[in-house]
Homo-oligomer: A and B are copies of this chain.
């Protein structure tokens, strides 16, 4: 189970927010071997005072439409797979809802397979 936290500015329509979740899930399916149905995501909107990004770090021009995507997932994907995952998210968000690729920020937190329970109090992957 990747568990996904999506943080963005307040005020986008529900379909827009939902599309972000769709794109992240599709990118997982296509690039990092996530099984069908393995989709658990929470989205949080923030007032602009509470959503702070640098508009130029690393020479990338960001706007208030930037999106933070933090994914907790099992250890062990190669750097190549991670790169493909990032590109698929940035491309998908641009194609589907016109988010600028510069505005897509992604972070992965890797954990052991016994660190999950998907229900019933069982460690399904251990």
Contacts and interface: CB of A to CB of B under 8 A. Distances in A.
A interface SS class: mixed
Contact of A115 (B82, B102, B104, B117): B82
A119 to B, nearest CB: 4
Q: What's the number of copies of this chain in the assembled complex?
A: 3
Contact of A89 (B42, B49, B118, B121): B121
Interface string A1-17: 10100010000001001
Contacts of A50: 14, 17, 42-45
A70 B72 contact: yes
Nearest to A91: B121
A40 B68 contact: yes
A18 B18 CA distance: 28
